[in-house]
Structure 1
Amino acid sequence: MNASETHAPQVEVVVSDCSATDAGNLFAELCRQFGSDRAAEEAPHEAHTSRPTIWTGTFDTSATRGTAERPSPPAPLSGPVKAELQGEPRAVERLRRALDELYAVHQLGVVAGDQEIDVELRLESRTRP
């Protein structure tokens, strides 16, 4: 078995500690760049309970849709967004690089296993001059 056969391009993204609007904007940006189990226009909604709401999406980093130039900056986030990326290290790194292009990214933690990595990030809108 060679390295290309063991590469799993899917990354699960779990978003929390934010509004449904911010989660939707983040997922829409990722859908513009990668294949996903979500549609770009699929709007997350708040659960009306006392428990925190999380949103998930799976992104195929081998199915790149993005272009070299962005026509406009991403929609601003209303506050920090917590995102957890889980998957094969190369796939997670590819998705992380895409996030770095869109937002200010702060790594909060990382757990690495034999064949998977779990990275916890805080995303914020970039300040524009």
Structure 2
Amino acid sequence: MESNGTTNHPADCDVSVQLSDCGRQDATAVFEALDRVFAGRDMPSPGPEQAHDREPTVWMATFDSSTRRENEPAPSQLGAEVTALLTGDQQAVAAVEKAIGELFEVRSATSVSGEHEREARLLLAPRQVTR
């Protein structure tokens, strides 16, 4: 295992999560939900929302898949569908993808695996509440 250079943390545990086709509120909902499950390493600081500011096209954060918390994550709500792109080590991406499936409805999932890395593209949707 190689270290990422900033800490004694193994770099192959990091998963980059990129969100697109969503606004600030949905990006925050996804990142906060994942942060309740894994330690966020490079969490964005969205800052105050202003009417004249343009929203980013892609929201990014990095999560440490080796820090899975044992508590049961509560499902989170989205206002609309969100496209998520996960990249990292195959096992790390699989762990984050599994957690996302527990938190949100995954409407579609595709993945491409390389020799050491995996890229997964997920379409997240608001989870339907059953009564």
Category of TM-score, reference length = shorter chain: 0.7 to 0.9
Deviation at 1:107, TM superposition (A): 3.3
Using the alignment, how far apart are the partners of 1:96 and 1:61 within structure 2? 10
1:36-115 matched pairs, under 5 angstroms: 36-38=40-42, 42-43=45-46, 48-49=53-54, 53-67=57-71, 69-70=72-73, 72-74=74-76, 76-115=77-116
Give the structure-2-normalised TM-score: 0.79
1:16 aligns with 2:20: yes
Q: Decide whether the 8 Å contact of 2:13 with 2:64 is kept in 1.
A: yes
Counterpart code for 1:92: V
Q: Decide whether the 8 Å contact of 2:22 with 2:82 is kept in 1.
A: yes
Q: What is the SS of the residue equivalent to 1:62?
A: helix
- Per mean C-alpha deviation after superposition, the further-off stretch among 27-36 and 57-66 is 57-66
Q: Could you list the runs of 4 or more consecutive aligned residues of structure 1 that deviate by over 3 angstroms after TM superposition?
A: 42-49
Q: Decide whether the 8 Å contact of 1:107 with 1:119 is kept in 2.
A: no
Counterpart code for 2:20: S
Counterpart code for 1:14: Q
Cα distance, 1:12–1:78 mapped onto 2, change above 3 Å = same
Give the structure-1-normalised TM-score: 0.80
Using the alignment, how far apart are the partners of 1:17 and 1:96 within structure 2? 18
Cα distance, 1:11–1:39 mapped onto 2, change above 3 Å = closer
Deviation per residue, 1:96-124 (Å, 9 max, x gap):
11011011113343221110011111001
Q: What is the SS of the residue equivalent to 2:26?
A: helix
Counterpart code for 1:63: T
Gaps of 5+ in 1: none
Counterpart code for 2:127: R
Cα distance, 1:114–1:66 mapped onto 2, change above 3 Å = same
Q: Decide whether the 8 Å contact of 1:21 with 1:43 is kept in 2.
A: no
Using the alignment, how far apart are the partners of 2:43 and 2:86 within structure 1? 19
1:120 aligns with 2:124: no
